[in-house]
Homo-oligomer: A and B are copies of this chain.
């Protein structure tokens, strides 16, 4: 009997929670961003529930340079993901460990090496979420005035991923014979030197880290632009994406899965996991009350800033939050979302506060507020309806929001046969149902041809 298809679940750990006011939650940890023990607790919680992976976002700098609103959030500082996941690798046994890292602000050798090292430390549980980053503030920490244009970033990202993949194939799986008697440590015929000479990078290789139990780290992506989807179709093994509605999720799913054939890839070898921001109550009322605890704690300066950003960089400071949205000048921001929001404000006669509360929770991600059974229904609908292979669970506050999901929704999913009772495998690839990549000897590029 074939195993029925089951959901993949990631625990997307945003320090104190995904809600911008999570740090003010009465049960929260305002010191979460400097507390390893907080993350150890979360990791063990998710692992006990047999989640596929922990997932950490990243920013190579403090993105928001508007200090007035920034100072009323906990987002300015936190652990760096690779060091944090390395620490967690030593105190967990099975759960996957996925860190985000940018192709714009790293060198491929360093990145390939650190992820390969995490992969070995964890016994084959690492994943790399490839991003190109989009903020000016980060670029300014790396010798640039402005961030590179989107097309250039993706051109670099494509070559970056190619170099990283080549470096992860420096050694065949059985290269290390470790024969004490003869004194031979590795078989020289199973070492492959990359000799990459490309447009952005020249990298000799080989990598100074061996392959892991799962071959190499799982490659994850998050971009949903045209270039992002194409790069994902070519290289990604999982996608963490933001899709607010079922229709959007289905369209994205069909589009990306449809691109894989062109690369000779099996659509099942790319798992699409949209984010979901769940607020779980024993009753609908309790769920709404739980959500209100967070919503009430959004400081107006933060609400105005979030709304201004969503409206393409509008400056709303000084406006009465309980008055209507003022007329706004045209900006360079994403037009469609901006327009929809302004239309909604006019139609429903919303105050500024009502408007920022409407967007502040999941910020573009899918938000579900209800009972465990109601939430399981919605997850099942997307999962069975061609919208998702699983979900990246974005707990509104931590640890409480994750505890609620695990205590309520996970058992409900299990009753329906939609989620595993316990881990069957040991590596992240085994959890996700991805094939272990066979070693591919990198083809050295003749120097003359590449230059």
Contacts and interface: CB of A to CB of B under 8 A. Distances in A.
Contact of A89 (B87, B116, B142): B87
B205 A110 contact: no
Contact of A88 (B24, B90, B137): B90
A106 B61 CA distance: 16
Contact of A23 (B34, B59, B171, B178): B178
A25 to B, nearest CB: 8
Contacts of A140: 202-204
A23 B117 contact: no
B107 A188 contact: no
Interface string A103-135: 001110110011011101100000000000000
A178 B24 CA distance: 9
Given A23-B180, A79-B117, A143-B201, 10 more contacts: A23-B178, A24-B183, A31-B178, A60-B113, A67-B191, A72-B183, A76-B185, A137-B204, A140-B202, A140-B203
A30 interface: yes
A121 B89 contact: no
A283 interface: no
Interface residues of A, number: 77
A71 interface: yes
Nearest to A171: B77
A82 interface: yes
Contacts of A91: 90-91
Nearest to A108: B141
**10 tightest CB-CB pairs across the interface, nearest first?**
A86-B86, A80-B117, A30-B178, A140-B204, A183-B299, A83-B86, A87-B90, A83-B117, A109-B141, A90-B90
Contacts of A23: 178, 180, 185
B68 A121 contact: no
A24 B179 CA distance: 8
12 contacts: A24-B180, A36-B89, A78-B208, A79-B117, A79-B120, A80-B114, A84-B121, A87-B89, A87-B121, A91-B91, A106-B107, A141-B203
A71 B187 contact: yes
A203 B36 CA distance: 28
Contacts of A143: 107, 201-203
Nearest to A101: B110
B109 A142 contact: yes
Residue among A59, A204, A206 with most chain B CB within 10 A: A204
A373 interface: no
